[in-house]
Amino acid sequence: MTLVTTPSAELGSARGRIWTSLRHNPLGLAGGIMLLVVALLAILAPVIAPHGPAEVNFDAPFQAPGTVGYLMGTDDLGRDIFSRMIYGIRVSLQVGLLSVALAVVIGTPLGLLAGYWRWLDGIISRLTDVTLAFPFLIIAVGLAAINGPSLANAALALGIAQIPTMIRVVRGETLRIKETDFVLAARTMDATGLRVIFGHVLPNAGSAIIVQATVIMPVAVIGEALLSFLGLGIQPPTASLGIMLSDAQQYISRSPTAAIFPGITIALICLGFNLFGDALRDALDPTNTSRK
Amino acid sequence: MTRYLLTRLWQSAITLILASLVVFVGVRQLPGDPALAMAGEEASPERLAEIRTQLGLDEPIATQYVTFVGNMLRGDFGASTRTGTPVTDLIATTLPVTLWLAGYALIVAIIVGILLGVIAERFRGRWPEWVANGFALIGLSVPNFWLGILAILYLAVTVPIFPASGYVPIGEDPLQGLYHLTLPAIILGTSLAAVIMRQTRASMIETMKTDYVRTARAKGLGRSRVLFRYGLRNSLIVVVTIVGLQLGGLISGAVVTERIFALPGFGKLTLDAVFTRDYPVIQAVVLIITVGYIVINLAVDLLYSVINPRIRVGGSN
């Protein structure tokens, strides 16, 4: 007998609240549009890119931006910078989504358990402490030494580094929701712990998890570029924004644009996520009273 | 207070032990048999067994772990498989470079961050606030390695104000040393400054709403005076917290900054070791950074409890 249902109003109107909030928040809307453009570029990369990402043209190295056929010019090997950038965005988002997925899939259950059962809290706290003891770059260095550098490795390192924060966010939410009346009601009706966690706590922690995911994405995008820049992530000839910057640094005074375009792209992706994430937080935060 | 101190020490000790276990297990996951690497492909099984005994690889895994921890505690990290130099020597030459860089960046970030935070609060709703906010948004969104490349292009190549690369030991020539580290330190400190600015501003807005600030204002103290006397003191707590939280970022950032400006620091040692599969060096670097990170975090926590009276009161109750 389950008469107690989770008040789904909080989630049900979430979409409506996001739209309302975005209408009153031009910066958040701009961030959302930026992300939409970036996502479309990544998905449609093979359709949009005029050249292959690794297509070399030794007759046309260091072309200036605006040259016919090369919108943003070419690099030292005559590769089209625009095409490489679009494929680079694809890699950035792939790594970002993979690491978000890892942090959510591992961090959420651990956070729920730690928040719900006090005796598990101590054990899980020690686990997060140990993970936090390794700076993200050191995790990446270790994984690269064991498995060799790759896209999967970069995503793994970035995801692992984000698990502790995800655990903390979900744990905090669980502690809050655990004390609400509807959870109390469910418990008086003999709902088991797991039933309360998955039926009542998790659905209500959803918005906090989504907001945290928008915080992780830009960190992962910068992280991927950084690892690839250092040679610990994506390996050439695959196009990655980090590899493009690393290549461009070698001939920076000859062709500064080869470094400028990928850098601006990384910055814009992150700006998009930061602006959109802020708007999302405002929209979903129940304690925010400044909402119109 | 004593109880808080003991709990914190105990937790750090457990973290240290668990972290050393992770490194120990991780090192054993590295591809390649160390005995085979030392003896060469042609070695006889007897010779291999001999080297295994010599390296202690035939001992039970628990004994191996104890030996491993013992060696680390004595500062014996073995020798680089690439050059044969003792790892301790390599660390002694590279670590100071990174510490100078990180320390310099920290100072730059704290000064710039607090200054911009104060400006943003003091001139709320006017153009200086927008400039400070814009700086923070850029500092958080722009990857610092890209900023570094641009800085070299515009501030070292196009307009040669700073050297593009190179390192002068501070001990030999302090002025030249600091001069060479200035641009890297600014680049490394940018994102930290942005975070500090945002938090300083947020904490000041909170402080300005409190009753004691209202009292101070009612007594006729000027807005700027109150801001500096009460707002700044509270934001000091925030800064200590931020520095603790951002330490990992600072370490990662230092590795990248060293790479861009070709500084012969700890980061370069780390990356070179990964690319040449120099396992003793990787092991030492990972362990030192991790232990250092845990210890500094502990120190930050303790410092935090000293300067934040609310924690001190809570702890003694």
The pair phi, psi for residue B3, each rounded to 5°, is: -65, -45
Chain A within 8 Å of B151 (Cβ-Cβ)?
Answer: no
Residue A96: which domain range? Answer: 20-53+84-289
Task: Specify the pTM.
Answer: 0.81
Alpha carbon A96 to chain centroid distance?
Answer: 4
Distances (CA, A) of A66 to A72, A80, A86, B285: 6, 11, 17, 46
Place of tokens 């550098």: A149
What's the pLDDT band for B313 if we cut at 50, 70, 90?
very low
Whole-complex ipTM: 0.77
Chain A hits for B30, CB-CB cut-off 8 Å, are: 145-146
User: Mapped to the 3 state alphabet, what secondary structure does B199-260 carry?
Assistant: HHHHHHHHHHCCHHHHHHHHCCCCHHHHHHHHHHHHHHHHHHHHHHHHHHHHHHHHHHHHHH
Instruction: Determine, yes or no, domain membership for A74.
Output: no
Instruction: Determine, yes or no, domain membership for A116.
Output: yes
Instruction: Determine, yes or no, domain membership for A58.
Output: no
Contact A138 B290 (CB under 8 A): yes
Contact A271 B141 (CB under 8 A): yes
Size of interface A-B (CB pairs under 8 A): 127
Chain B hits for A133, CB-CB cut-off 8 Å, are: 15-16, 18-19, 290, 293-294
Copy the structure tokens of residue B254: 């230092």
Q: What's the pLDDT tens digit per position in B121-131?
A: 878 778 888 88
Chain B within 8 Å of A145 (Cβ-Cβ)?
Answer: yes
Q: What's the pLDDT tens digit per position in A69-86?
A: 667 777 777 677 888 888
The pair phi, psi for residue B196, each rounded to 5°, is: -60, -40
Instruction: Determine, yes or no, domain membership for A45.
Output: yes
Q: Which residue has the higher pLDDT, B61 or B263?
A: B263
* Separation of alpha carbons A63 and A79, rounded Å: 9
- Domain with residue A227: its CATH number is 1.10.3720.10
| Count of structural domains, chain A | 1
Residue among B29, B143, B251 whose CB faces A222 most closely: B143
Residue B42 has pLDDT above 80, yes or no: no
Place of tokens 């935060």: A285
Instruction: Determine, yes or no, domain membership for A62.
Output: no
Instruction: Determine, yes or no, domain membership for A143.
Output: yes
Chain B within 8 Å of A232 (Cβ-Cβ)?
Answer: yes
| CB < 8 Å from B in window 167-226 of A | 218, 222, 225-226
* Separation of alpha carbons A210 and A203, rounded Å: 11
Q: Which of B173, B178, B185, B222 is nearest to B111 (CA)?
A: B185
Range with the lowest mean pLDDT among A105-114, B43-52, B209-218? B43-52
Q: Which domains are present in chain B?
A: 32-76 (no CATH), 87-315 (1.10.3720.10)
What's the pLDDT band for A277 if we cut at 50, 70, 90?
confident
Q: What's the pLDDT tens digit per position in A107-128?
A: 999 999 988 888 888 888 888 8
Task: For residue B26, give how far its alpha carbon lies from the nearest alpha carbon of chain A (Å).
Answer: 8
Q: Which of A215, A227, A230, A244 to mutate to test the interface with B (most CBs of B within 10 A)?
A: A230
